[in-house]
Structure 1
Amino acid sequence: MKDVTQLHEGWNLRYEDALLPAQVPGCVHSDLLAAGVIPDPFIGLDETEVAWVGRRSWSYVTTLGHDSGHERSELVFDGLDTAAEILLDGASLGSTRNMHRVHRFDVTGRTGSLEVRFASAYDEADRVRALTGERPNVYPEPFQYIRKMACSFGWDWGPTVVTAGMWRPVRLEHWSTARLAEVRPLVTVDGTTGRVELHVRAARTASGAGRRLTLRATVAGAVAETSFEGEEAALRIEVAEPELWWPRGYGAQPLYGLDVELLDESGESLDSWTRRIGFRSVTVDRSADEHGTGFTFVVNGVRIFARGVNWIPDDVLPSRVTPERYRTRLTQAAEANIDLVRIWGGGIYEDDAFYDVCDELGLMVWQDFLFACAAYPEEQPLRGEVEAEARDNVVRLMTHASLVLWNGNNENLWGFRDWDWEAPLAGDSWGEGYYLGVLPRIVAESDPTRPYTAGSPWSGSWDHHPNDPRHGTHHSWEVWNRQDYAEYRSDVPRFCAEFGWQAPPALATLRRALPGEELAPDSPGMLHHQKAEDGNGKLNRGIERHFGLPEGDFDRWHYLAQVVQARAVSAGIEHWRSHWPVCAGTVVWQLNDCWPVSSWAAIDGDGRLKPLFHELRRVYADRLLSLVPTEDGPVLALDNQSGGTWRTSVTLRRADADGTVLKEATFDLEAAARTVVRLVVPASLLPGTGSSKELLLADADGLRAVHVPVYDKEFAYPEPAYDVRVEPHGDGGAVDVVVTARTLVRDLLLQADRLAPAAAADRGLTTLLPGEEVRIAVTGWSGDDVTAVRRALFSVGAV
């Protein structure tokens, strides 16, 4: 049987004349941080103090020694970041140029000093650029010339921290006769039968060449085997009436262990492979209709409105992201009623632990191939790396039931058309051959069970503009960059794969990241931790448009920025959900952050939840009640994405700014499963056109929607008045904050981290009429100081 030895201990990093202890998996930055050589780039302006790390070469050393008794010994690196040469006793074993591939070297019978030398990623990119020629991109960094996590070089939400190191596990594999080199299970469902079509490639030693081997596979109690003499074998297993895997909210997520074993002629096990699979079918319906060209996920025959978020690397030093951290972040996604996570193309193919959790939670995964916002050369040495990388990762990830889509790139087809690339390229390659040729061919050959799309956005062909909202996937960035969020309602995209609005992180996150700084929107640290072009200008214009800009009041500015973010995203989702099935999905930019920063994230860089997170939980719930503005006035929308009929009584109230109900009516409505019911609000219930003193509320089953006909700064909000009490829980580790309104209170928010850095509240923005009460559960704080609670409470009408 194959023996495996992990090589995670005993490594050192050469720095100047010293050897520093190194953590593997890890990277240069984390080792230098641990040794006290560099400051934390997440704190203050210290990102600039560590820029030199990415511009020099580095070397890791250890001693390799083994006596395995096997015919073959191989040194395996699951991830080398990025341009590296591997030397054993000074002799080169080989070199690597790709962070996203597994690399394997024969070290049979060899021992001695092992060294992994990493060149500067900048030097490697310059070398490739000299060979391929210049290509345009959206940032002044050379990320398109090296197969490395693009956002290492900075992004409009991330720092420039250009890493190097062994960022994934390193091991020795000792084996004889043969080993499993590749296992590809094609999992399908035919009626009530589950099928696993298994394709295996075996690597053999010289003595194992031509020997008859047996391949045996087991799943759900079914067993199949075959014998073969060459390098490849295939077999099929059928499972009668397997339980189907469903996205969350549509059914359960049963997973079956698939065990594969390679045996020699005597029946002795040579190698084994085990994964979990799920039986389900997935397609994307891209049919043309009277509205354009659709883009609807269909799982097990059920059409799905995808409630998604975009995912970026959860740390700019990705080796620090543990399986536990993946589980925490993805569990948070599920708690926000998210059912699809798009892994964005400027990051990484995540660790298997990520997809394992998605399999268990029913989170569909949309996987980008790693191309983003740039023209990519298609010549060598990149072309061969791209092909090898794509094959590696398709084969590695195809076992996961949660994976529902391969996507060729992020915004590059759009960029070619709209971002002035065509003239400077002058006919040079830019990536189209990857997206429309290489990648779909690899997916068709290796994983034909899943759909592929050439890019996001993409209209399906060059017959339409790549970002035409009527065709395929669409990215909506005129809003935020140039327009108010009300403009989300100007069209109905078939599938909105990116849209969003920025806000600063939680106050406790800012205080940790900017110690000692007097916080202001334009204070030095705040500006440094704002990477978007004119980011603060856009934040300020959004606040000014709706509320007026609070001068000299950072706390008020901070709160209003978070309110605008939550309202912007909910405006888009409420509108687009109300147009299901024409619009078949929204993917918010973005779920998470990789460091403490003002960004589009719902969960900030320290893991704290912004108000946007709670708003996502509301607008992504199976049942959504909303008042959607239209040119003819607000429309009541009952969106039922649950599997059962929603029968409810909706109360509509036209109220005065002081909370007095002026007119009220109740409607009994019914929305069938996976449908939307729209009701034109009767004229008698509508606030007067342009009224600054009337608002409309809708209530049903504990859900509330609010419509104010003017900007908030034009509305006659009363000075909010409310009573506060604190009720401890029996276990002493949490409290309930109970707020009882004495006036209209709009978008009440408890910023629990102001009570204690570890404190968190279980709800976000809440609107109350006089006499109404809200109970907010707070964990991480067990105090009883009502004055402190009041200081942590904010609302729109406060001054």
Structure 2
Amino acid sequence: MFQQLLYLLFVVFISPSNSNRISLVGDDWTITNKLNHTAQGHIPGTIHTILLAANQISEPYTEYNDLDLRYLIHSNWIFTKKFNLTSDFLASNQITIHFEQIDTVANITLNTCPIGRTNSMFIPYTFNVTNSCLKLENEIQIDFESPVIYALKQADAYNDTVPPDCTPPVQNGECHVQFIRKEPCSFSWDWGPAFAPIGITGDLYLEGVNKTEIIIELESVNLASYTTDHKTWQVDVMLSSNNDEFTSKLKFVLENTTWSYETSVTFNHNLTISLSISDNHVLMWWPNGYGDQPLYKLVVSNQENIIGSRLIGFRTVQLKQNEYEAGINGTSFYFAINFQPIFIKGSNWIPSDSFQERVSDEKLERLLRSAKLSNMNMLRIWGGGIYERNSFYEIADRLGIMLWHDFMFACSLYPVDEPFLTNVHDEIIYQVKRLQYHPSIVLWAGNNENEAAVAQNWYGVPEEKMNKTKDDYRKLYVGTVMNAVKQVDKGNNRPFVTSSPSNGLETIIENYIAKDPQDPLYGDVHFYGYHDDSWDPTTYPITRFLSETGIQSLPSLDTWYQTTTNSSNLKFNSSFLLHREHSENQLTEMMKHIDSNLPVPVTNDSLRNFA
């Protein structure tokens, strides 16, 4: 049985004399498959970006490459790397290997000795390799399964049907994405292609530790509550140790303030310490447009050694769902930050590239700063994408961009067998621990549109199976996701809703599946008026909170020129445009919108007409 340590978030204090890390990222990796593809590549990286850098494929976003390169993800791949270790490192009492993120299903061997298996891109993996066959000269081999074939096998092996089987044909996508804990939109969406990347997308290293030494780790920091009577913040600090019961003196310092605290504590592997910080030591964090965003570095130390730190902000979050006066139906649904109602202005956030290794922190900064300069104060992290890297949330904290954060479940029913639910539980625990200290995150949502999918039976589930379908929904999002969030994100730091859209408190009253999750009198609403006159304000719903909406448009010629060198592709209703349009009849709908309010260009120059 492989030993998996899923919750080693950050080893934030290790005495240099007792620990050593050997990085396994870099340029000296080889990837191969049975289709005679072999390339040297850089890790972090995935098969598409590695083959692109090796000039073996062209840019995936161009021409018809979303289909022409599809064979790559229908193949298994092997990633290998040779590396050397010193005798001193091999003498470590404990050696572990750490995968920050691996995408997705893989078997890992060291010098032909199997050490572990991965099956989720949403949790890190740590394997104990102390007694494996490590030596001075080594080779690590990672055998990746095709995510498409893996998902199909999981669906075939499951004891029930879990619709939808596949994406709509117009999307040119893949099937059964709900059976693999991987970015849902990587199997295609109505706005994006199916590349389903395969590779190592985070840090990877070996670590040698002297097991006789005590190591304390900072797992998480949670702004649990604010007491108005005493004007005091409660901050919960979660620590863990590799050792059994022992006593240690800890010091907590909030940099650039006069606040500090010292205490002696007794560890038994895990420990939570609640700190009390008076508000005369700190200023409140505010959303963009409502004030400043002061952040404070909380440093935890053990005698002379820094255990770890987090950059935190102090703010309260309330999701106000109050009944109106007599004669007005429904309830309110708005955010109050620091007890002040906030008028939300924002957008939805999808992954900024199909290949995350191409996304720089500078790109994230530019995009989020653009949101700030557009006077936005909230982004919704959409549930069909990914949990973003740490720097994304740090930028949002700094810019005052609040985050409505879905968990990564979207537009599908899901399996609910024990292995799947355990995997999801581990994912939620890890991600909430990783992210909960960020003041920008003001709400967790269990999924994208799955309550509506069940309530309105989007997938044609037979009537005799609807009760089971509803029970399975509650088992996943209430019994697993919500309970895991409450296990970690304690206090009143931020609210949780089981789905978006939902009726909020009314959804709970209706046992978590409302009769109409899109009821504009409750909760949040998703709205797309594809067939309406967008210039007519009466076509828009009057909602309590509109969390997703949009009107499709085509990109500029400058953008199109990056995708094709064939100018004949750039005309309305060309095969190229129809291929890239992933929503049925939307080109026709766009033309109707234009024609109803604007003159349509008619010249002999098709490119000019298109532009």
- When normalised by structure 1's length, the TM-score is 0.66
Q: Is the 8 A contact 2:93 2:130 kept in 1?
A: yes
Aligned to 2:482: 440
Q: Is the 8 A contact 1:285 1:297 kept in 2?
A: yes
What amino acid maps onto 2:146 in structure 1?
A: S
Question: In 1, Cα distance between the equivalents of 2:579 and 2:37?
Answer: 33
User: Do structure 1's residue 151 and structure 2's residue 185 form an aligned pair?
Assistant: yes
What amino acid maps onto 2:78 in structure 1?
A: S
Aligned to 1:197: 236
Choose from 54, 57, 74 the match for 2:76: 57
Aligned to 2:12: none
Instruction: Name whichever structure is richer in strand by fraction.
Output: 1
Question: In 2, Cα distance between the equivalents of 1:229 and 1:251?
Answer: 40
Choose from 113, 117, 126 the match for 1:91: 113
Q: Secondary structure of 2:354's match?
A: coil
Aligned to 1:516: 566
After TM superposition, give the deviation of residue 377 of structure 1 in Å.
1.1
Q: Which range moves more in the overlay, 494-503 or 520-529?
A: 520-529
After TM superposition, give the deviation of residue 168 of structure 1 in Å.
1.4
What amino acid maps onto 2:167 in structure 1?
A: Y
After TM superposition, give the deviation of residue 197 of structure 1 in Å.
1.8
Question: In 2, Cα distance between the equivalents of 1:422 and 1:182?
Answer: 46
Q: Is the 8 A contact 2:251 2:260 kept in 1?
A: no
What amino acid maps onto 1:78 in structure 2?
A: E
| 1:105-146 residue CA offsets vs partner (Å, 9 max, x unmatched) | 112363421111110001211222123232113725211111
Aligned to 1:740: none
Aligned to 1:789: none
| 1:457-482 residue CA offsets vs partner (Å, 9 max, x unmatched) | 101313541111111000112x0256
Aligned to 1:113: 139
Change (3 A) 1:3 1:362: farther
After TM superposition, give the deviation of residue 70 of structure 1 in Å.
4.0
Where in structure 1 are there 5+ consecutive unaligned residues? 560-799
What amino acid maps onto 1:498 in structure 2?
A: E
What amino acid maps onto 2:128 in structure 1?
A: D
Aligned residues: 549
Q: Which range moves more in the overlay, 288-297 or 82-91?
A: 288-297
Question: In 2, Cα distance between the equivalents of 1:458 and 1:300?
Answer: 25
Matches within 5 A, 1:277-296: 277-289=312-324, 290-296=328-334
Aligned to 1:450: 494
Q: Is the 8 A contact 2:33 2:76 kept in 1?
A: no
Aligned to 2:156: 130
Change (3 A) 1:286 1:224: farther
Matches within 5 A, 1:772-787: none
What amino acid maps onto 2:317 in structure 1?
A: V
Change (3 A) 1:467 1:18: closer
Aligned to 1:307: 345
Question: In 2, Cα distance between the equivalents of 1:557 and 1:224?
Answer: 71
User: Do structure 1's residue 498 and structure 2's residue 548 form an aligned pair?
Assistant: yes
Aligned to 1:543: 594
Q: Which range moves more in the overlay, 135-144 or 399-408?
A: 135-144
Q: Is the 8 A contact 1:41 1:48 kept in 2?
A: no
Question: In 2, Cα distance between the equivalents of 1:8 and 1:551?
Answer: 55
Q: Is the 8 A contact 1:415 1:421 kept in 2?
A: no
Q: Secondary structure of 2:444's match?
A: strand
After TM superposition, give the deviation of residue 15 of structure 1 in Å.
4.2
User: Do structure 1's residue 423 and structure 2's residue 462 form an aligned pair?
Assistant: yes
Question: In 1, Cα distance between the equivalents of 2:606 and 2:339?
Answer: 51
After TM superposition, give the deviation of residue 26 of structure 1 in Å.
1.2
What amino acid maps onto 2:227 in structure 1?
A: D
User: Do structure 1's residue 160 and structure 2's residue 199 form an aligned pair?
Assistant: no
Aligned to 1:102: 124
Choose from 395, 403, 409 the match for 1:357: 395
User: Do structure 1's residue 217 and structure 2's residue 265 form an aligned pair?
Assistant: no
Matches within 5 A, 1:129-278: 129-132=155-158, 133-137=160-164, 139-140=167-168, 141-176=175-210, 177-180=213-216, 183-187=219-223, 188-191=225-228, 192-202=231-241, 204=242, 208-220=243-255, 221-240=259-278, 241=280, 242-261=282-301, 263=302, 267=303, 269=305, 272-278=307-313
Q: Which range moves more in the overlay, 353-362 or 229-238?
A: 229-238
Question: In 2, Cα distance between the equivalents of 1:452 and 1:145?
Answer: 25
Q: Is the 8 A contact 2:221 2:310 kept in 1?
A: no
After TM superposition, give the deviation of residue 422 of structure 1 in Å.
3.3
Q: Secondary structure of 1:48's match?
A: helix
Aligned to 2:25: 8
- When normalised by structure 2's length, the TM-score is 0.85
Change (3 A) 1:422 1:260: farther
Question: In 2, Cα distance between the equivalents of 1:474 and 1:459?
Answer: 8
Q: Is the 8 A contact 2:567 2:607 kept in 1?
A: no
Q: Is the 8 A contact 1:410 1:455 kept in 2?
A: yes
Q: Is the 8 A contact 1:216 1:224 kept in 2?
A: yes
After TM superposition, give the deviation of residue 367 of structure 1 in Å.
0.8
| 1:571-618 residue CA offsets vs partner (Å, 9 max, x unmatched) | xxxxxxxxxxxxxxxxxxxxxxxxxxxxxxxxxxxxxxxxxxxxxxxx
Q: Is the 8 A contact 1:517 1:525 kept in 2?
A: no
Q: Percent identity?
A: 29
Aligned to 1:30: 49
Q: Which range moves more in the overlay, 425-434 or 351-360?
A: 425-434
After TM superposition, give the deviation of residue 100 of structure 1 in Å.
0.7
Aligned to 2:368: 330
Q: Is the 8 A contact 1:184 1:446 kept in 2?
A: no
Question: In 2, Cα distance between the equivalents of 1:94 and 1:181?
Answer: 24
| 1:471-506 residue CA offsets vs partner (Å, 9 max, x unmatched) | 1000112x0256645265453100001111011111
Question: In 1, Cα distance between the equivalents of 2:20 and 2:606?
Answer: 60
Change (3 A) 1:5 1:431: farther
Matches within 5 A, 1:353-752: 353-418=391-456, 419-423=458-462, 425=465, 427-428=468-469, 430-448=472-490, 449-460=493-504, 461=507, 462=510, 463-477=514-528, 479-480=529-530, 484=534, 486=536, 489-518=539-568, 519-551=570-602
After TM superposition, give the deviation of residue 214 of structure 1 in Å.
4.2
What amino acid maps onto 2:123 in structure 1?
A: R
Question: In 2, Cα distance between the equivalents of 1:435 and 1:487?
Answer: 36
What amino acid maps onto 1:386 in structure 2?
A: V
Change (3 A) 1:555 1:51: same
Q: Is the 8 A contact 1:373 1:410 kept in 2?
A: yes
Aligned to 1:761: none
Q: Is the 8 A contact 2:393 2:440 kept in 1?
A: yes
Q: Is the 8 A contact 2:162 2:415 kept in 1?
A: yes
Change (3 A) 1:238 1:92: same
Q: Secondary structure of 2:431's match?
A: helix
Q: Secondary structure of 1:155's match?
A: coil
Question: In 2, Cα distance between the equivalents of 1:377 and 1:543?
Answer: 43
